[in-house]
Amino acid sequence: MKKSDRAQAEFYIKNQVLPESQDISELDYHFQRRAALYSHLGIPPLFLKGRSVLEIGPGNGENSLFTLSCMPGEYVLVEPNSGGLEKTKQLLEKSRFSDSSAITYLNCFLDDYSPDSGFDLVLCEGLIPGRANPENLLRKVLELVNPQGIAVVTCSEHLAFLSDAVRKILGLALAEPSLSVLEQAKNITPFFESHFSNLPGMSRNVKDWALDNVFNHTEDINFSIPRALEAAGSDADFYSSSPVFFSDWRWYKQITGKEFGFGSHAVDLWSRIRHSTLNHTCQFPPADPNVVMALVGLAERIFDLSRELASNRDLNILPEVSETLLELVGKLRLVPGDTAWTCDALLDAGRAVSQVRHKGIAADCGRFAALFGKGQQHLSLMKR
């Protein structure tokens, strides 16, 4: 693991942040969300019963609780954050499912873990995007999967992350850099609470979100579904995803020889619909891949500007952010479907960035306060 990758984990440990910490006070809803995700990924809960499961980076263990309820025969959790691992252990051991599986807790980095055998299911959520070499990390994950087993990973890309990149810019512009990171996050949390009140199903603490997304400066988050499938190569094939975007009308009897496999078809479809990740409430029709790639390039520029601001806290770059958002809206108007509200929300984002340039003035974000992208896409891969 590269030094920059370990720095990610060390950021969480130093600031006592568990990036996937969630509110599970309504456990039935939490379990329904996880069951819906597993359904999207083509993994019925019964598949886990008696199987071997490895989870990499369980955080606080809230998601692990659902996995344990599916009664895997062997369940191994690998987590470098000792505080998070201890909370996971406490949560699972006091649950009514604690006797259903043989559980092993390992406080280590993935690079330091070398099991004697593989697993039927390997879960690696929220870990690969933002790493210095995400392809190598994905290959490491796939090495741990048994043949015909399933790996679940998360992907992200600049279009899906656009609203978060703009929020990062707003947060950095509002925060006082002379304060500690924890104090800065605490001070900007009320500003973003109004945003997240527009996001049904949000189960994460807003302050933890601010620490993780505004002040934890990662490598490029771009690890798209096509990039993941290319990295998997001949070791694994596309199985399913969340959101579910893939449909295949080929006759199954003709999916043989050179036609066998699903990855190339998934990549082709994704190239025409990836702009739907801009708004989590919308599914836009397929568009010209050239127009979509132009949108990707502009979203990447916004992300790069957010990283630049994080490194120098120079608000003079904010006019370029507003101009790039305006150009992106012009391109978005070229794609089919009803993009009017999303365009208006992005124009409001540009105006908010212009307002917040005047230090200390909290911007009116208008419709942008309710715009959230499909920041992460879950991908399930079948090991060959």
Q: What is the CATH number of the domain that holds 46?
A: 3.40.50.150
Strand partners, 123: 55, 152
Average pLDDT over residues 65-91: 94
224 assigned to some structural domain: no
211 assigned to some structural domain: yes
Q: Are 275 and 292 in contact (CB under 8 A)?
A: yes
Of the chain, the end-to-end C-alpha distance in Å amounts to 25
Three-state SS string across 135-167, please? HHHHHHHHHCEEEEEEEEEEEECCCCCHHHHHH
pLDDT of residue 9: 59
Instruction: Please check whether residues 207 and 312 belong to one and the same domain.
Output: yes
Q: Are 181 and 16 in contact (CB under 8 A)?
A: no
252 assigned to some structural domain: no
State how far the Cα of 132 lies from the Cα of 220, in Å rounded to an integer.
Answer: 8
**Residues ≥6 apart with Cβ < 8 Å to 32:** none
| Least confident range of 207-211, 264-268, 338-342, 373-377 | 207-211
Instruction: Please check whether residues 338 and 363 belong to one and the same domain.
Output: yes
Instruction: Please check whether residues 111 and 192 belong to one and the same domain.
Output: no
To the nearest whole percent, how much of the chain has pLDDT over 90? 81
Q: Which residues of 185-208 are buried (b: 16+ CB within 10 A; e: fewer)?
A: beebbebbeebbeeeeeebbbbbb
pLDDT of residue 338: 95
Pairing label, strands 74-78, 52-56:
parallel
254 assigned to some structural domain: no
**What are the helix (H) ranges across the chain?**
3-15, 27-40, 45-48, 62-69, 82-93, 134-143, 162-174, 181-196, 206-210, 225-232, 263-273, 289-312, 318-332, 340-356
Instruction: Please check whether residues 17 and 84 belong to one and the same domain.
Output: yes
197 assigned to some structural domain: yes
Instruction: Please check whether residues 99 and 201 belong to one and the same domain.
Output: no
pLDDT of residue 25: 82
Specify the DSSP class assigned to residue 359: T
pLDDT at 124 over 90: yes
Instruction: Please check whether residues 141 and 189 belong to one and the same domain.
Output: no
Instruction: Please check whether residues 142 and 170 belong to one and the same domain.
Output: no
- For residue 84, the one-letter residue type is G
102 assigned to some structural domain: yes
Q: What is the pTM of this model?
A: 0.91
pLDDT of residue 212: 86
Instruction: Please check whether residues 311 and 325 belong to one and the same domain.
Output: yes
* Domain of 16, in residue numbers: 3-158+376-383
Instruction: Please check whether residues 124 and 196 belong to one and the same domain.
Output: no
Distances (CA, A) of 178 to 8, 110, 182, 278, 310: 22, 35, 11, 33, 13
Number of domains in the chain: 2
pLDDT at 217 over 60: yes
SS3 assignment, position 243: coil
CA-closest candidate to residue 59, choices 24, 94, 28, 35:
24
188-199 residue pLDDT tens: 999 999 999 998
In the numeric block, which tokens belong to residue 101?
């599986």
239 assigned to some structural domain: no
Instruction: Please check whether residues 179 and 59 belong to one and the same domain.
Output: no
Instruction: Please check whether residues 17 and 105 belong to one and the same domain.
Output: yes
Instruction: Please check whether residues 140 and 90 belong to one and the same domain.
Output: yes
265 assigned to some structural domain: no
Average pLDDT over residues 114-127: 96
